[in-house]
Each structure stands twice: as C-alpha cells, then as structure tokens.
Structure 1
C-alpha cells in the first residue's frame, strides 16, 4: 500500500494548528465558560441566594439602561474610542522610528538600547502612581500647591503649544492632533516597548543583500526605506496595530468603570453588559482596521 505524503501546504497548515493549539486549549477550558456566563449575566438579574445566587432573565434591559439611563457610560465609551484613534497612530509611528534608529550600527548601540528600554520596563509603577492621582500629590508637595491645582501645570505646555501653532497658521484640525500627541508623549513612550521590539526583530530579519542590490542600482536611503524596509516589515506593522488597539482598551476610564460597577457597586449584571458592549466595540474596530490594512500587507516567501 502506497503511503501518500502530505504536501508542503498541508504541512504548513498542520504546523499552524500545532502552534495555536496551546492557546486554543486554554481558551476552551479557561475562557469559554466564563465568557458564556458573563453573557448570561448581562441578560439576567443576579440575586444572592442560599448557597450562591439566582438569575432572573431580563433580556436587553441592562443594555438599554446603559445607553438611555446611565450617566457616564456613553461619554466614556466615546472618549475611550477617540483616545484609541489618537494613540494608536502615535504609538506605531514612534515605535517604527525608534526601532529604525536602534537598528543602526553605531558605537555603544547595546548601551543605547538598554538606556532606552529601562524606562519602558520600569514605567508600570509610574503609570500606576499617575492613575491613582499620586502624581498630582507629588507635584503638590514639590510646588507647595495644596489646592489640588497642581495638575494644571501639565496642561500649560499644551496651551502654549496650541497658541504657538495658531500664530503660525496651522489648521485647527492638525493643531488638535499635534497638541494631543505632545501632551501624551510620556504615555506614547511608555506604551511603545513591545512594538519597538517587534519592529526591531522585523528590521533585523531583512536580508542585507536587498539593500546591497538597491545601492548598486543607485537607490537613495529614502527610496530604500519605502521600497524595501516598509514592505518587508508590513506584516509586523499589522501585528503592532492589532496589539496597540487591544492594549489601548485595557487601561482607561471605561475599564475602571466596569471594574467598579462589578466589585464596588456589586452590580454584576450591568458590569457584564458594559463589558460586552466594550468587547463589541473593540471587535468592530479590529475588524475594520485589519480589513483595511491587510490589503496592503506584503508577505515575502
């Protein structure tokens, strides 16, 4: 009996299945049941009972309450989406710029990378300090401001920049983007660590022979970047955009509202409804982003 050998495409498909198998088993056994239960909670009213709790089916009542009655959910949902749309391009562009610089050959490159990544690795504690309003207390202690107005110091630079750009005749739409980017530069840098590593790995995987052939043909550095570097790292660009979108939705005011509604107000049904609306919004943005960007991605075989 002749044994049929699998084709190369079949082998690659099997390798892909084996690669995602740990995540797939983890999702089925650890996340699928909680996801189903949270969806049931969003459609039901939870009441404490002897030995646990009871659920009473309410349909879409909690979803309607979020959009028609809740005082802050709609505003926070819009603010989180707008903040994501502003931060994702800033983080991805900065990550690509930083990775390109760190990929250059120069003396002390290893030290430069270490100096650059140390603040990124150690920024978690600083961010938690800022999120807990401790940063304002520190500044108040330094400046002697006890009226709770120390946070205004951080917005003064943005106001001065806005007036400077207006005097220069820059369009108002572009002024808003520039001011938001400058005032959030620390947040952009602190959230760019993983993206820089991914871009750096992609840059180092490009064959030097491509640049050598382009140089022989008289290609400039600008042309080499857009004709060689950018197409070759475009798959990692898509990966970083997806990662940044998901990461931007994991730490904001809406996420905190969902947690507080569940564990402080003990309203688990409303918290579950918030989470599912949030999940639907994130999924919609991801589908649109991946659908638009994947058309331009170049895969080099």
Structure 2
C-alpha cells in the first residue's frame, strides 16, 4: 500500500490550520453572525417595534453623521490614536527593561516576576467590577491619593526637567520622559503580559552566544544591541501589535460607541462608529506591522 507523502510546506500549512482551528470555529459559530448584523445596522436606521425591531436602509448616512455631524467622535478618535502613539513606546521600553532585569539570576526572582504580573490581575474586568461596586478598594481614598500624587509630582518634575536640561537633551525628549514618569502607574499596569512575552524571548536566546561575545571582549552594551535586541525583535513586533489592540480596547471611543447605542438608542450610528473604529485600528496595525516586519531578525 502506497502512502501519500506530503511536502514540508503542506505539513506546515496543516499545522497552522490546526493551531488556528479553535479561533476559526469560535469565529464562525459565535462572531460571524453578529459581525454581519452590525454591517446591516450600520447601513440602516433601527426602530424598536412591538415584534422586535425594524430596519430602514439609509446607505452611508450613519457614516456621514459619525464623521461630519457628531460633535465628539472625531475628536475622541484622534485623541485615542495620539494616546496610543505615546503609550506604546513607553510600555515596550519599560517591559523590555523590566524583563531584562527579571531575567538575571538573583534570589527571589520568582516572587519578583509574580509582583510585576500583579497589575494585570488587578486590572482585570472582575477586579474592576468589584471595585466599581464598592466591594473592594484598591486605591484607598482617591482624593488623598491624587492630592499626594500632585503634591509630590510638582517638586519631582521640576527637578527632573532641570536635571535633563543640564544634560543637554532636547525639550521634546524631556517632555516625553516627564510624561512617562507622570503616567508610570498606567504604564506598569499595562505591561504585565508584555513583560512575560519578553521574558520568554530572553530565555530562548542561546547562552553560547553570550559566552562567545564575552570571549571576544564585547561590552554589555554591545551584547545587548548585537545579540539580545535582534533575537527578541520578533517578539517586539508581537508586543507592539498586542499593545496597540489593548490600548484601543478600553479607550474613550468604545465608551462613546456604547453610550450611543444603549443610552441614545441610536444603534445604526453606533455600528457605523464601530466600523470606522475597526478600519482605523486595522490601518494602524497594517502600517505598523509592515514597517516593523522589515526590520525583524528571524534566526
């Protein structure tokens, strides 16, 4: 009996299909119908009827209203994109720096890694819902915390700006560093998953490469940029895409879309906003992925 032999490319294709099959099955049975329904809503005017709802086809009117008539959607969308462009480099730098430190050998390394992953757990939806319901209080008295933060930040910021200016950094870099320091809590709370991904990438780098670099007299700075950074660059691309999607997930745009649908009962306009938001995110991911993929080093 002759057995059919498959090429390496075919086997890899089947393996890839096997990996994405859970997502594909879930998409077909759980998300495909709501996705098509949202397209219908975005092109129609929805009216509540006694037997459910009625749809009146209006074409691209909802998209025109979202872009040209709605007073806040464009501003919120642009602000969300600007915030994302500021947050992604901060989160990636902090995540890679923290993962490099946690990859060193020291006592209590496991506990330190768990501590840095705690913000991910504390920022979860279950904990957030419990805090909003008053069941728990993670931040204590919010007014006292904000007053203490503002009082301490004003002195520290002046000192930091003066120190960086004396070093000779341009003002644009000083503003960016100060902005990162002022938002350190948000950066830490958004970096847990990225730290774990970078940590896994650092642990996959062969130790023999560092031994050869040390024998050749390479400094720690040269070792990082010549070995560590190229070897973890594929995961940098992964973290960039993940961070962009994660930053959009809880942005003010999603809140505006929710309020438009369930508070003003304008489901057509809300669906149009959702699709515009999706197209913007897809365009950003396409551009960022294309630019970064050309600089990724695959060993």
Considering the TM-score relative to the shorter chain, is it more than 0.5? yes
**Mapping 1:1-301, distance limit 5 Å:** 2-124=2-124, 125=127, 138-140=141-143, 142=144, 154=150, 157=153, 161=157, 165=161, 168=166, 170-300=169-299
Q: Which moved more, 1:83-92 or 1:9-18?
A: 9-18
TM-score by length of 2: 0.88
Unaligned runs of at least 5 residues, structure 2 = none
How many aligned positions are there?
291
CA 1:159–1:14 in 2, change beyond 3 Å: closer, same or farther? farther
In structure 2, distance between residues paired with 1:43 and 1:175? 47
Contact in 1 for aligned 2:118/2:192 (Cα 8 Å): no
In structure 2, distance between residues paired with 1:219 and 1:298? 20
1:111-134: per-residue Cα shift (whole Å, max 9, x none)?
22223323442244469869x9x9
Q: How large is the RMSD of aligned CA atoms in angstroms?
A: 2.7
In structure 1, distance between residues paired with 2:199 and 2:149? 36
1:14-57: per-residue Cα shift (whole Å, max 9, x none)?
11111111111211221122111111111110011231111111
In structure 2, distance between residues paired with 1:127 and 1:84? 24
TM-score by length of 1: 0.87
1:205: how far off? Answer: 1.1
Unaligned runs of at least 5 residues, structure 1 = 144-149
In structure 2, distance between residues paired with 1:136 and 1:109? 26
